[in-house]
Amino acid sequence: MKQKNVSLNDIAKSLGVSRALVSLVLNGKAAEHGIAESTCQRVLAKASELNYKPNQLARSLRLGRSFTIGLVVSDISNIFYSKLARAIEDLAERAGFSLVICSTDEQVDKEQKLLRLLQNRQVEGIILSSSQADCDDLTRLKNDGIPLVLIDRKLGCKQFSTVVSNNRLGGEIGTKHLIDSGYKRPLALAITPAHISTISERVKGYTDAVTEAGIAPWVAEVPFEEVPTYVEALIGRLKAENRLPDSIFALNNSVTSAALVALKKHGLDVPASVGLISFDDIPYFEFMNPAISAVEQPIAKLAEVAFGRLMDQINGSSATAYESLTVELPVNLIVRESTTKK
């Protein structure tokens, strides 16, 4: 038999209080109506005990709001984005919102279509990792009153809150680690589109570090649509031409995984033949043999700050309340066996 959903009346009856009081507490309006904190705690504890779940449809119709936000990323199959999505989904659920997740495959036309779809679905705000090269389409959203926060990638749009990792510094410290470990011919494997700030800034950090060390920059751009095949062909060609790098800095985790497969296929051991470091740490890197060195991004903090700023906009806070519209979070170098030069 299907279990009956717990209602506000059920909670009120079990506590001997009014339904209106329970509603005020669960909708965050207790303080403005002078409801004691001890009463709030009793209501919240009973709601949790009875496994109360609000009727979101009824709530939306009553308040004229969707209580839904959108998250648009380039590739939800990428572990970085899937972990980011999960973190934002958890934050949204705790705030009483549902999350709609969309993946663009780095296609600008698809991104624009998805943004229009989310707008038509009357989402209350959007968190976006954009593949676009300018701000025109996003300015249209702003003019239509859609709260928007950019995450992971900068667009040079000064009117939008933007939350990113310090990608340039990550590129620099990863490269300096290779150089300090004794590597003299590091190859940076980037990924297209090249204009995207995450990659361009990581390349800039790499280039600055090798140039400072008197080493010529060596960057190969890997097409987004053919990462495994391109990296495998590149490693095979460099091996055949006796031009292998002594180390590789893979500038995202998809490229790192492709490099690991390609190096193994061509009989090249890490780190004996080629050292390897990844921008992005993913769970299995720690348990591989050898374990893979990585520049780690603060995924949970990226999600927290971006979601908080989106909620601020949805709740009517002014952007002038922030010291800066752009938040750049620190990254962390994790040194493991794959960069231990032998």
Q: Is 108 exposed, middle or buried (0-12, 13-18, 19+ CB in 10 A)?
A: middle
Identify whether residues 161 and 303 lie together within a single domain. Answer: yes
Q: What is the pLDDT of residues 82-125, one digit of tens each?
A: 999 999 999 998 888 999 999 999 999 999 999 999 998 889 99
Within-domain flag for 1? no
- In a domain? residue 143: yes
pTM: predicted TM-score of the whole model, two decimal places: 0.80
Whole-number pLDDT of residue 59: 56
Task: For residue 96, give the CATH number of its domain.
Answer: 3.40.50.2300
Residue 38 forms part of a structural domain: yes
Least confident of 100-104, 260-264, 321-325: 321-325
Question: Same domain for 159 and 174?
Answer: no
Residues of the domain holding 126: 62-165+299-329
Residues 79 and 156 in one domain: yes
- The answer to whether residue 237 sits within a structural domain is yes
Q: What distance lies between CA 95 and its chain's CA centroid?
A: 19
Computed from CA positions of residues 47, 48, 49, 54, in that sequence, does the dihedral angle turn out positive or negative?
positive
12 and 32 both lie in a single domain: yes
- Tell me: the pLDDT tens digits for 302-322? 999 999 999 999 988 765 566
Q: How many domains does the chain have?
A: 3
Question: What's the mean pLDDT in 233-255?
Answer: 97
Please tell me the least confidently modeled range out of 23-37, 66-80, 139-153, 326-340: 23-37
> How does the average pLDDT of the chain come out, rounded?
90
SS3 for the chain is CCCCCCCHHHHHHHHCCCHHHHHHHHCCCCHHHCCCHHHHHHHHHHHHHCCCCCCHHHHHHHHCCCCEEEEEECCCCCHHHHHHHHHHHHHHHHCCCEEEEEECCCCHHHHHHHHHHHHHCCCCEEEECCCCCCCHHHHHHHHCCCCEEEECCCCCCCCCEEEEECHHHHHHHHHHHHHHCCCCCEEEEEECCCCCHHHHHHHHHHHHHHHHCCCCCCEEEECHHHHHHHHHHHHHHHHHCCCCCCEEEECCHHHHHHHHHHHHHCCCCCCCCCEEEEECCCHHHHHCCCCCEEEECCHHHHHHHHHHHHHHHHCCCCHHHCCCCEEEECCEEECCHHHCCC
In a domain, 2, yes or no: no
Same structural domain, 119 and 157:
yes
Residue 119 lies in a domain: yes
Q: Are residues 215 and 69 in the same domain?
A: no
Residue 248 has a pLDDT of 98
Confirm whether 103 is domain-assigned.
Answer: yes
The CATH number linked to 23 is: 1.10.260.40
* Strands 125-128, 161-165: pairing kind: unpaired
- The verdict on residue 3 lying in a domain is no
Q: pLDDT at residue 220 above 60?
A: yes
Residue 284 confidence (pLDDT) above 80: yes
Whether residues 187 and 287 share a domain: the answer is yes
Query: Do residues 174 and 294 share a domain?
Result: yes
Of residues 243 and 24, more confidently modeled = 243
Average pLDDT value for residue range 121-131: 93
Q: Give pLDDT, residue 61.
A: 46
The answer for 122, left when phi > 0, alpha when psi is -120 to 50, beta otherwise, is left
Note whether 84 and 22 are same-domain residues.
no
- Whether residues 287 and 174 share a domain: the answer is yes
42-92: pLDDT as tens digits: 988 888 888 876 665 455 545 557 789 999 999 999 999 999 999 999 999
**pLDDT bucket at 177, cuts 50 / 70 / 90:** very high
Tens-place pLDDT, residues 18-35: 988 888 887 767 777 888
If asked whether residues 130 and 69 sit together in one domain, one would say: yes
122 and 100 housed in the same domain: yes
